[in-house]
Structure 1
Amino acid sequence: GIAGPTGPIEDISAAQWQRTMDVNLNSQFLFARRAVPLLRLSAHSPCIVAMSSVAGRLGYAYRTPYASTKWGVVGLMKSLAVELGPSGVRVNAILPGTVEGERMSGVIAARAHATGVGVDAMRDEYIRKISLRRMVTPEDVAATTLFLCSPAARNITGQAISVDGNLEYL
């Protein structure tokens, strides 16, 4: 996925909106559309794990296109879980929170610029919103993905699972 534009809604172009929709939401639909016929044939607990975001359960000022796509991913996955469950295909979404790395550094810098706050102050603000007071790592997200694909998760479907250290608000 992509971060999409950061700024007030009136400054976001229709092209920026559409690109964010295409990359973050439409691509997941197109993937599922192609994968489902093969998954229905599998006898080995087939599953789809989609990447959404904690922005898929909370509003996110200045990130409207991104948050809208992530809400859409959750809706798509919950609907597919109902549709595909009778075929034995499990479908879940992971909602990562603030994930340490270059992408989040860019998101923080863009939000700092959009709101007129320093980058270090904005990073501190992001951390304060997390109950555990730390960002999650890509490894945290990977471990959750592996679990959801494992036999241990054979009865888990239709879930939007947050991996966010309890991100309280955006």
Structure 2
Amino acid sequence: MRVLITAGASGIGFAMGEAFAAAGYDVWVTDVDGVALAECPATWTTRLVDAANEAQMRGLFEEITSAGGLDVACANAGIAGPTARVEDVAWEDWKICVDITLGAAFLTAKFAAPLLKAAGAGAIILTSSTAGVFGYPNRAPYSAAKWGVIGLMKTLAMELGPFGIRANAICPGAVEGPRMDGVLQREAAAKGMTRDAVYDGYASGTSMRTFVRAQDIANMAVFLASEGAARVSGQVISVDGHTENPDPKP
């Protein structure tokens, strides 16, 4: 079995790679960070590919086809985008965030679909966000892109279901790690709060009063790819400790 994970050299993507490898998959990961790719396990196939670049993705999937095809595609690439009130978001920043976060998911699905159709089975797992369920103040581009990922997933489930292919979206909440640390710092600056106050606000906005781990997201991805989820498709599944308040405050 072969899995492709975009943005797989760090964070959630790396945790997915570890979890799929432990489940017996041949792991392929892409990333734009060559240094991080070089630190991935030697047993993984790594490629320096921009998941939002059509030509690069076409070349990648030609290579995957030559290697024997694909069983699971994890569309995980995306960026945080700016933290600002909607009237202060630059048009260029909006376009960059949406083009990368939604565009990379589209290209992954576009090129994975023919391979999975040929196999008559498979799964596409898209990384959305709780921001794609609730919306999020001061994160308009990111939230809109992640809502778009869910709309894409719902369409994929309907289009590809007759071919035995399932599509689902995982919505992480606040995930421990360097990326979320950057979000916390930017949000603290935008709101005139301390970083710790924003952190506490995120945690207290969940019923479990906690952030989640990248491994929690990865475990869900492996389940969604498994026979245990053979009839699970078109679903938006949050792994977030149950978000109660999408606008964290101190």
TM range (shorter): over 0.9
Residues in 2 aligned to 1:60 and 1:121: alpha-carbon distance in whole angstroms? 17
Q: State the partner residue of 2:93.
A: 16
CA distance in 1, matches of 2:161, 2:245: 32
C-alpha deviation, 1:130, in angstroms: 1.0
2:240 aligned residue (164, 167, 170): 164
- 1:6 paired with 2:58, answer no
Cα distance, 1:169 vs. partner? Answer: 2.1
Corresponding position: 1:81 with 2:164: no
Instruction: Give the TM-score, by structure 1 length.
Output: 0.97
Per-residue CA deviation, residues 109-148 of structure 1 (Å, 9 max, x unaligned), is 1111001011111111111101101110000000000000
SS of residue in 2 equivalent to 1:5: coil
Choose between structure 1 and 2 for higher RCO, CA contacts under 8 A separated by at least 6 residues. 1
> Residue 195 of structure 2 aligns to which amino acid in structure 1?
V
Q: Which secondary structure state, in structure 1, belongs to the residue aligned with residue 117 of structure 2?
A: helix
Q: Which has the higher strand share?
A: 2
2:118 counterpart residue number: 41
Aligned counterparts of 1:74 and 1:9: Cα–Cα separation in 2: 21
- Count of paired positions: 169
Give structure 1 regions of 4+ aligned residues with deviation exceeding 6 angstroms. Answer: none
Give the secondary-structure state (helix, strand or coil) at the position aligned to 2:137: coil
Q: Distance in 1 between matches of 2:111 and 2:245?
A: 35
Letter in 2 for 1:25: L
Q: Secondary structure at the match of 1:57?
A: helix
Larger helix percent: 1
- Return the offset for 1:92: 0.4
Residue 68 (structure 1) aligns with: 144
Matched, 1:94 2:170: yes
CA RMSD across the alignment: 0.8
